[in-house]
Structure 1
């Protein structure tokens, strides 16, 4: 809550734009946020026929809305400045790119615009009632609940849940993008988003220590970078407004990345972020196992596997890069050592291809324990996926500033891709790593019978 109050206090004045030819998202000033706004819900339809100019629709005027196609509602959250969400246009266009559907923006900026978060929160059920009335009329015109999809951001995620409850969980799908935490944490299922609110509910938690909801709320709950501090976001208040909203908004940008062909973020079902980082939960995707869940738009491909679980709920973890499109590429680094004594430390691995591209992974979240003739499998995360690796470098470090320098005697090192298990595995034998000294070498293909 403290970060929320700081965020509100740092909001700056936003000026209104002149009227436009095409209907657009309601733009209000900071003055409106100070004095407060009464609730008014405006529905704006985009289709491939009118993807650049919205049609204002209601329960009697449906415009180009095709009742036989999927209808995706986008519901925003708290708007303390009155400005439109900066991500809205990209989300609309991205959805229309991947599927021929109806996209409806649920504009409740008049109601969400206020510096008092409690006032916006109190209007969420009323917004849900407006949506219910509209969907009822869609059903009369021949639409199906199976084809109703609601994407809710922050407070919008709970609005989606309220709508779903009114249809006894028969909506096709709900996606919650960092559902709001303040005033909702600890609330019973009837007062928030819940896994039973749709046939499939997926949630991305990107700010669980501040503006977002910590506990699972869906059939599958994704926790990027553990759901806490997101890479590339400011770590201190010196980052200005971005410090307060960057983690919270990252859920939206991660979802957007799933709509691009060049980025498919894989997540790994796991009990905890620590277990994921330690490589204990990356068996999905290998032969005889279920596929790994994908983040974002295609997350519902995993719902068939969820039906086998009781209850049909799971948590999934993954890491991201600092910048768009945020994809990370996972490899296992298997190391067998032959030191007489146990060594504890971290490994930094660097890959380079023939074109000179370099990518690096520091596996230092907790010390690895190297024992004689025992294989240690370390999960490495790279920002680039190099198809043909020419050289590999390893650095071993105990993290000690003073004291003796140690050697790590490597009997065998093996590099294997999780994203592309069909690629040849790369090996190197009989290495001696001097602490904090980079050892660069050319790998060789591992024997094919080697596991």
Structure 2
């Protein structure tokens, strides 16, 4: 759909998120509505170009003569942005920010693949059938223009992730990078490699899983797979159907906003390789020795710094936790507690860190913790913000048993080590924690001893 400048000036701020006119025609993703979804739409694929020269005014690329668009420069790398299922017909609300953020980071041809006519249909299975033809359209464009395959980065959400995979497979995996943002699960679970995204579809494939128990895909699909908060329920998302449409899409869409956070470098999140989320929360996967001096990879846009080692390691599943809104990155600490009760104790620990101006709290309650005499319990504490250097630490021990006597936990050593490299661990010795009571202290330097 084409908008002339007179119409655009009137509607740009209201209905056209891409359309800020500069005396030329601007293009937007096709805007449809529920009426179209009920009736069903026939597939039409449009490629809309944004560059640093026209970051707010999309230009339609002709499949027959893309070079007729003056801002298309073959020497630039190309980033393709591919949306997924659009049951309401509306354009993705995140696309504007994604385009601008990518262009702010890199001088590329940012090409939005608009297949809303074909994605807007209440029959999901019909939309799934359209993914192959969309990939064929993108494949044809790449072939006709002679783009440098290794400089291509495809970012696809949901069905767009598998479209990226199909496109990459058409070039025998020679395109540079695929970023799959919560790749679609329905109709793809249990399928063979040639029927879905897989690591052979590009030189480097990363997949982010945020809704694997519903709309997303559970199993690993890339050279590195990220499972924030375990890969399913995301913090801040509704837990009941009474929240309306947000209940269905919040976890799924979180993948986009987490990735946007990484592009904008709002916060840096470390992705810890681990066998599963439970072991990660238990603090069993905080060592990054396999990555040598480079340390564990960061999540998202800048992970390619670890590309070579990840390719050597094969498929790597990683875990981290996030806040419920941007900045999503948390501040992590390894917690080691040596208790010296004569009898074992069970319970939860809450840790509060405070500096001169701020405080932050972490409740370690994913499971009941076991404290044994002269045994070290290793835990992971994730705080919403970084308050280093820490002035005071407050501990609270809770059993969660309302009808039992109040217990005490005797701590021989408490050690708190920042996961951020280069920061010193903090200790305290000989503490008595009474159930449900705060114990506040100033941390001291750690002694070198077995306990």
TM-score for both structures, normalised by structure 1: 0.92
Whole-angstrom CA distance in 2 between matches of 1:181 and 1:287 = 31
TM-superposed CA distance for 1:262, in Å, is 3.0
Q: In the alignment, does 2:352 pair up with 1:330?
A: no
**Which moved further from structure 2: 244-253 or 322-331?**
322-331
1:172 counterpart residue number: 176
Residue of structure 2 in register with 1:418 after alignment: 419
* Residue matched to 2:445: 445
Asked if the contact 1:169–1:196 (Cα under 8 Å) also holds between the matched residues in 2, the reply is: yes
Q: Could you say which residue in structure 2 is the equivalent of 1:255?
A: 259
CA distance in 2, matches of 1:36, 1:415: 57
Deviations 1:411-432 (A, max 9, x none): 111111002x312221111110
Query: Using the alignment, how far apart are the partners of 1:26 and 1:283 within structure 2?
Result: 47
Of residues 154, 157, 160, the one that matches 2:161 is 157
Q: Is the 8 A contact 1:283 1:289 kept in 2?
A: no
Say yes or no: does 1:61 pair with 2:66: yes
SS at match of 2:364: strand
User: Would you say the 8 A contact 2:209–2:255 is kept in 1?
Assistant: yes
SS in 2 for 1:347: strand
Find out whether 1:428 has 2:428 as its counterpart: yes
5+ unaligned residues in a row in structure 1: which ranges? 1-14
Paired residues of 1:350 and 1:359 also in contact (CA < 8 A): yes
Partner of 1:296, secondary structure, is: coil
**Paired residue for 1:6?**
none
Question: Which runs of no fewer than 5 residues in structure 2 stay unpaired?
Answer: 1-13, 20-24
Q: For 1:37-436, what aligned pairs fall within 5 Å after superposition? A: 37-59=41-63, 60-62=65-67, 63=69, 64-139=71-146, 143-284=147-288, 288=292, 290-309=294-313, 312-355=314-357, 357-419=358-420, 421-436=421-436
1:274 Cα deviation after fit? 0.7
Partner deviation per Cα, 1:335-381 (whole Å, 9 max, x = no partner): 111111111111100001111x1100011111222111222221000
Separation in structure 2 between the aligned mates of residue 336 and residue 445 of structure 1, nearest angstrom: 16
Cα distance in structure 2, aligned partners of 1:30 and 1:287? 49
Q: 1:242 to 1:19 in 2, by over 3 A?
A: closer
Deviation at 1:18, TM superposition (A): 12
1:170-213 alpha-carbon deviations (Å, 9 max, x no partner): 01010110111111111111111011000000000100110001
- In 1, distance between residues paired with 2:386 and 2:410? 28
Is contact 1:16-1:27 (8 Å) kept? no
CA contact (8 A) 2:345 2:409 kept: yes
- How many residues are treated as equivalent by the alignment? 430
| Cα-Cα RMSD | 1.9
In 1, Cα distance between equivalents of 2:213 and 2:122: 21
TM-score (norm 2): 0.92
**For the residues of structure 2 that align with 1:341 and 1:447, how far apart are their CA atoms?**
26
29, 32, 47: which one aligns with 1:28:
32
Contact preservation (8 Å) 2:17, 2:96: no
Between the aligned partners of 2:338 and 2:17, the Cα distance in structure 1 is 67
SS at match of 1:362: strand
How far apart are the structure 2 equivalents of 1:18 and 1:443? 51
Contact 1:70 1:147 in 2 (8 A): yes
Maintained 8 Å contact 1:348/1:395 = yes
- Matched-pair contact (CA < 8 Å) for 1:16–1:28: no
Residues 422 and 19 (structure 1), Cα distance of their counterparts in 2 relative to 1, 3 Å cut: closer
